[in-house]
Structure 1
Amino acid sequence: MNDAGERIQLKLLNVEDAEILLDLQLRNMAVFEEISASDRSDTFYTLEGQVAILERWAKAREEEKRYSFGIFLKATQELIGEISLFELVLDHTDKWIVGYVLDQGHNGKGYMSEALQMVLKFAFDEAGIKRVEAGALPDNIGSIRVLRKAGFQEIGRQNIKIKGKWKEHVMFAVDCPERA
């Protein structure tokens, strides 16, 4: 999917995007590390590390297990964030999770709300996903606002490991709307 909204465009990320993705990660390292459950070892912050991640994401996309999109400003084509849908199996139950990061210089401008609406449309209309879940740290008011604006409802709390420590997250879910 290459989908354009009012101010942003979503593009599936590929290996060719490794340099710009690395730049986004490096510019926002301190903030992203505080919220990300993914492995952020030293190799993560290398071009080779980003290429390896993008190769894994491409394989998972072929298997219909992950869809990772770059969030690009339409006006400049600058990569300002990343949003992914990925399937996890927890307690023998398949769950689709949405995770996202946005360049800190672009927070509070509505870009992530626009991106999340586009990704949910893709999930429900194109990928056949019936339910999407997400988690946010309780003090991440901006992320919680984005989720609620997109129709997510709070479903409980869950501990998620961030930088080797368990941190409580508020969990949210949204179901595919019934089609008439």
Structure 2
Amino acid sequence: MKYEAERIYIRAWTLEDATLLQEFQMGNREEIERTSAGHRDEAFYSLDGQTRLIETWLELRKEGKRHSFGIFLKDTDELVGEISLFQIELNGAAKWVIGYATDRQHHGKGYMSEALKRVLQYAKHEMSITHVEAGAVPDNIGSIRVLLKAGFQESGTHDVPIQGVMKKHTMFTISLTDVE
């Protein structure tokens, strides 16, 4: 199913998207590794690694714990980013977190702002989620701008493992009660 915005649409990943996701990951590897939680080795970037990643995302979607989408231009169907809403458990409490990445060739065009707004609507109306959190490394000004534009409020800091090194993230939260 596609969820449309003004210039983009989002849709859930399928196994047929593994090559597309691999190209996205490889083309944006440096930035993704600089800003995203977790560790990514060479196997992660292989076609098999991306296929396994999508399989995991699909399984978590069935369990209601993760909703991952590709972001595509409406006019050309070009992949311009990815966005995921996922549930984590921290200190015994479950919470929803959003993470995203834009293709470097499409930074600053507002596509992620459209996608984030659409995913927040999805979270509220189709999943009945009331609060969402996000984090950004402090020097990722573009990501912070996207979050603030969407209505997120700064809520503190949290250390997150990036490529095996703990890095401070500025944390943001939003209440979905005001989301249309």
Q: Which bracket does the TM-score occupy, shorter chain normalised? A: over 0.9
Give 1:83's aligned residue: 83
Give 2:104's aligned residue: 104
1:20 is displaced (CA, Å) by 0.3
Matches within 5 A, 1:11-160: 11-160=11-160
Give 2:4's aligned residue: 4
Q: Which amino acid aligns with 1:52?
A: R
1:103 is displaced (CA, Å) by 0.3
Encode CA deviations 1:61-115: one digit per residue, 9 max, x unaligned: 0010000000001111011110000000000010100000010010000000000
1:130 is displaced (CA, Å) by 1.2
Matches within 5 A, 1:163-174: 163-174=163-174
1:178 is displaced (CA, Å) by 5.8
For 1:151 and 1:174, the matched residues in 2 are separated by 6
Q: Which amino acid aligns with 2:127?
A: A
For 1:24 and 1:70, the matched residues in 2 are separated by 10
Unaligned runs of 5+ in 1: none
1:39 is displaced (CA, Å) by 3.0
**3-state SS in 1 of match to 2:157:** strand
Q: Which amino acid aligns with 1:53?
A: L
Q: Is the 8 A contact 2:133 2:173 kept in 1?
A: yes
Q: Which amino acid aligns with 2:116?
A: L
For 2:62 and 2:41, the matched residues in 1 are separated by 26
For 1:16 and 1:3, the matched residues in 2 are separated by 19
Q: Which amino acid aligns with 1:161?
A: P
Q: Is the 8 A contact 2:38 2:164 kept in 1?
A: no
Q: Alignment length, in residue pairs?
A: 179
Q: Which amino acid aligns with 2:78?
A: E
Tell me the TM-score normalized by structure 1: 0.97
For 1:162 and 1:39, the matched residues in 2 are separated by 6
For 1:138 and 1:178, the matched residues in 2 are separated by 26
For 1:172 and 1:2, the matched residues in 2 are separated by 27
For 1:39 and 1:51, the matched residues in 2 are separated by 17
Tell me the TM-score normalized by structure 2: 0.97
